[in-house]
Amino acid sequence: MNFLRSLKANFMKTKRTPFRYIILLVPILFSLLFVSYISVYKRDYTFQLNVYNFYFSIISITLPLISSILIGLNIMGEETSGEFRGLLMTPISRSTIYLSKLFMIILVTIIDMFVSLLILLIGMKFLYPLGTIQYGVFLTGTILTILGCLFLYGLYLIISLKFGIGPTIAVGVGGSIMGALLQTGLGDTIWPFVPFAWSGRIGIVPIYKLSNFIKYQHLENKKNIQEILNTTFKQYMYLGVPIAIISFIIICAIGVLWFNKWEGRKVHN
């Protein structure tokens, strides 16, 4: 119960702050702009393949930056409102305070991602009413993209508490650039070791399950291509998903242990 109350209290603190405006407006505006952009796409078998590829490429590149901004703004609010007294002097366990803060930000991100996806899917059906939209594949891609980014939330929270919003966003910018580069062939062998690449790498592989993917990639004449794609999909799932989950658990444990000993930092006016 303490955790749920703390979760709610953390969200209420964001009222009338930039954090609240970002989580309310960004997913809606982004999706509407994206739908308007894809309205020029050809309405044939390539439509949902092109949409999936472009949508999740953008999301996986921008999510590390957006999450760093959200966490940086949230912690800056704690800093400016009372020099972290709201975190350090609350009469509940430090572990509860830390985890409720972390999971509140993750929860609003998940909601935003699904709102964005819903608008996208409605827009796709409106633009291509005769086409078959594979909603489950898009849902799977969204879940995997979120999963791949969880570690970064734990990392950003520690950085933001320790150093402030500036370094947090700087890491987010660098991470987004690195993530974009590692979506190319540069990251084929090293992506499991770079957290900024996880959401992009595991979030994009459900595209293999979309109809006409083989035709889309002009692979019709390649021997056993469907079997190869199924094997590749499983390899990404068996490698990427466990790495993302285990790393998130580890960064949560590190964060809790560190926060239990943290006594705040000097605030410069």
| Band (1; pLDDT cuts 50, 70, 90) | low
Round to whole Å and give the CA distance between 258 and 168. 17
Round to whole Å and give the CA distance between 160 and 169. 9
Instruction: Give the orientation angle of helix 18-38 with respect to helix 94-127, to 10 degrees.
Output: 20
Q: What is the pLDDT of residue 208?
A: 87
Round to whole Å and give the CA distance between 45 and 216. 8
pLDDT tens for 217-247 read 777 677 777 777 888 888 888 888 999 999 9
Question: What's the pTM value of the predicted model, to 2 decimals?
Answer: 0.91
- Show the tokens assigned to 169: 């966003």
Per the CB < 8 A criterion, the answer to whether 102 and 11 are in contact is no
SS3 133: coil
Per the CB < 8 A criterion, the answer to whether 116 and 144 are in contact is no
User: φ, ψ for residue 118 (rounded to 5)?
Assistant: -60, -45
Instruction: Look up residue 164 and give its amino acid.
Output: G
pLDDT tens for 78-122 read 888 777 777 777 778 889 999 999 999 999 999 999 999 999 999
Side-chain half-sphere exposure of 80, counting CA atoms within 13 A? 12
Tell me what the mean pLDDT of segment 24-43 comes to. Answer: 92
Nearest to 32 by CA among 113, 125, 135, 122: 122
Q: What is the pLDDT of residue 268?
A: 55
Round to whole Å and give the CA distance between 60 and 87. 31
Per the CB < 8 A criterion, the answer to whether 112 and 144 are in contact is no
Higher pLDDT, 159 or 217: 159
Round to whole Å and give the CA distance between 138 and 51. 10
| Band (269; pLDDT cuts 50, 70, 90) | low
Mean pLDDT in the chain?
Answer: 89
**Region for residue 244 given its phi and psi (left: phi exceeds 0; alpha: psi -120 to 50; beta: otherwise):** alpha
**Tokens 């580890």 identify what position?**
250
| Largest interatomic CA distance in the chain | 66
Round to whole Å and give the CA distance between 149 and 147. 5
Q: What is the pLDDT of residue 215?
A: 81
CA 78 to each of CA 9, 61, 69, 86, 223: distance values in angstroms, whole numbers, following the listed order: 12, 28, 14, 7, 58
